[in-house]
């Protein structure tokens, strides 16, 4: 499939009645124009490097200026003295709709990184401002009389987009920040399609609920709905406390028509779970295609640490999808022991949940008058019966 801007060029030439000979010559060059922008791999010092051969800032700007639609993350970015073009990846036929490459346009470390190298890839995550990230970092640098050797290591992490700022976060609290310096003003990013996004939340007292920070980040309006009223307007809510680092947000339902939750049938427990424990997850993933009914998945605690050894999270084997974010992870008694927050894009059945101790810490540090549920009335029930009792307290959250 030809690029949009190539189609535009051809249509203009045809309108201007270009003679067939010149048009034939131009058509010969179109494959050259297209293939010049393909992501390719090569080897340098024994390391596989992804790059876009002979790519220039002028070509990047030409793509940005002529693209029919741009996503908010696309543009020219700087970090320190380095300059990048973040743009949809290109396979020679079309631009990928949810996968982006960061092409180095100018490098301050010419010995290690070359212009046109791809420093990292981004993939759309569970929220509009979160991207699953593969970052290629240099390690094991050794100098000798024959020069130096190094190793390129791909690191799986996440990036957060906040307007003109993109932050790549690493498990050792290190982060890299990028600033957008160019994006065409005449192109409307596809934010209109993402003007509404969803997640899951659960009750922790009569009118307070918990979800992920990334679910409600930048939301101007928040509505929560039960399984039986997703098609209705639901109830308005507002954020009363948040922890951006640990990805937790506490909300209060402010709608005067909301009667309050009844007796919550589960404990919200900060006990440390063991590897191998049975767990299950309730939530509202991918409602546009999977429907409005609450979804159950189950598995085990795979690890007591999360992504890259993060001690704030558990790793679990219960399958999760976009929309599960902010939902509860239950133990086999039906107590909440974690808050679902992410899944590993590079592995099957590897999801993450925030430990409840970090929720308790947020409540204590902000002085909220919330007593977490401490009485379990469903531990003796079968799993199907537990779900029937729990689903009234696990809600769908809609943000705009």
Residues in the chain: 400
128 and 146 both lie in a single domain:
yes
The pLDDT assigned to 278 comes to 97
176 and 236 both lie in a single domain:
no
Domain-located, residue 18 = no
Domain-located, residue 264 = yes
Domain-located, residue 20 = no
- Poorest-pLDDT segment among 8-12, 27-31, 203-207: 27-31
String of b and e for 200-218 (b: at least 16 CB within 10 Å)? bbbbbbebbbbbbbbbbbe
Q: Which residues contact 160 (CB under 8 A, 6 or more apart)?
A: 129, 130, 131, 166, 167, 169, 214
**Of 190, 212, 241, the domain-final residue:** 190
d(CA 11, CA 17): 10
Decide if pLDDT at 49 tops 70.
yes
DSSP per-residue string spanning 306-369: -GGG-TTEEEE-S---TT-TT-EEEETTS-EEEEEEEE-TTSTT-EEEEEHHHHHHHHHHHT--
Average pLDDT estimate for 191-202 = 74
269-327 pLDDT tens trace: 999 999 999 999 999 998 888 888 999 999 999 999 998 889 999 999 999 988 999 99
d(CA 292, CA 290): 7
Top-confidence residue, 31 or 328: 328
The rounded radius of gyration (Å) of the Cα atoms in the chain is 25
160 and 210 both lie in a single domain:
no
222 and 97 both lie in a single domain:
no
At residue 390, the 3 state secondary structure works out as helix
**Of 173, 190, 207, the domain-final residue:** 190
Domain-located, residue 11 = no
Angle, to 10 degrees, between the axis of helix 57-66 and the axis of helix 4-15? Answer: 70
Domain-located, residue 355 = yes
Domain-located, residue 73 = yes
Q: Which residues contact 138 (CB under 8 A, 6 or more apart)?
A: 112, 113, 150, 151, 152, 153
The pLDDT assigned to 34 comes to 45
Domain-located, residue 1 = no
258 and 283 both lie in a single domain:
yes
- Whole domain around residue 330: which residue ranges? 197-399
Decide if pLDDT at 16 tops 90.
no
182 and 288 both lie in a single domain:
no
d(CA 397, CA 205): 17
The pLDDT assigned to 126 comes to 64
**Of 190, 205, 232, the domain-final residue:** 190
134 and 213 both lie in a single domain:
no
Number of domains in the chain: 2
């Amino acid at each position: 499939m030809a690029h949009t801007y190539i189609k535009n060029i051809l249509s203009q030439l045809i309108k201007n009645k270009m003679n067939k000979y010149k048009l034939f010559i131009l058509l010969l060059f179109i494959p050259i124009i297209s293939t010049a922008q393909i992501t390719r791999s090569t080897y340098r010092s024994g390391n596989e490097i992804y790059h876009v051969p002979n790519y220039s800032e002028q070509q990047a700007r030409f793509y940005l200026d002529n693209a029919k639609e741009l996503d908010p993350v696309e543009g020219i970015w700087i970090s320190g003295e380095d300059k990048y073009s973040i743009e949809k990846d290109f396979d020679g036929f079309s631009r990928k709709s949810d996968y982006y490459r960061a092409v180095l346009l100018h490098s301050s470390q010419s010995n290690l990184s070359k212009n046109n190298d791809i420093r990292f890839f981004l993939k759309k995550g569970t929220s509009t401002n979160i991207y699953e990230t593969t970052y290629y970092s240099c390690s094991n640098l050794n100098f000798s009389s024959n020069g130096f050797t190094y190793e390129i290591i791909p690191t799986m992490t996440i990036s957060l987009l906040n307007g003109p700022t993109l932050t790549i976060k690493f498990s050792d609290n290190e982060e890299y920040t990028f600033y957008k310096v160019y994006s065409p003003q005449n192109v409307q990013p596809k934010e209109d399609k993402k003007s509404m996004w969803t997640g899951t939340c659960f009750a922790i007292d009569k009118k307070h609920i918990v979800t992920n920070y990334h679910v409600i980040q930048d939301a101007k309006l928040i509505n929560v709905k039960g399984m039986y009223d997703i098609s209705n307007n639901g109830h308005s809510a507002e954020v009363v406390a948040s922890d951006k680092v640990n990805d937790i947000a506490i909300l209060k339902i402010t709608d005067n028509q909301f009667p309050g939750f009844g007796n919550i049938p589960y404990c919200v427990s900060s006990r440390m779970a063991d590897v191998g424990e049975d767990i299950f997850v309730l939530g509202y993933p991918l409602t546009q295609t999977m429907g409005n009914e609450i979804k159950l998945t189950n598995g085990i605690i795979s690890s007591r640490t999360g992504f890259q050894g993060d001690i704030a999270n558990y790793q679990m084997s219960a399958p999760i999808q976009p929309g599960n974010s902010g939902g509860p992870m239950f133990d086999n008694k039906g107590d909440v022991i974690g808050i679902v927050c992410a899944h590993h894009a590079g592995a099957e059945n590897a999801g993450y949940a925030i430990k409840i101790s970090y929720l308790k810490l947020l409540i204590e540090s902000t002085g909220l008058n919330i007593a977490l549920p401490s009485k379990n009335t469903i531990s003796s029930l079968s799993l199907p019966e537990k779900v029937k009792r729990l689903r009234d307290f696990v809600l769908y959250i809609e943000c705009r």
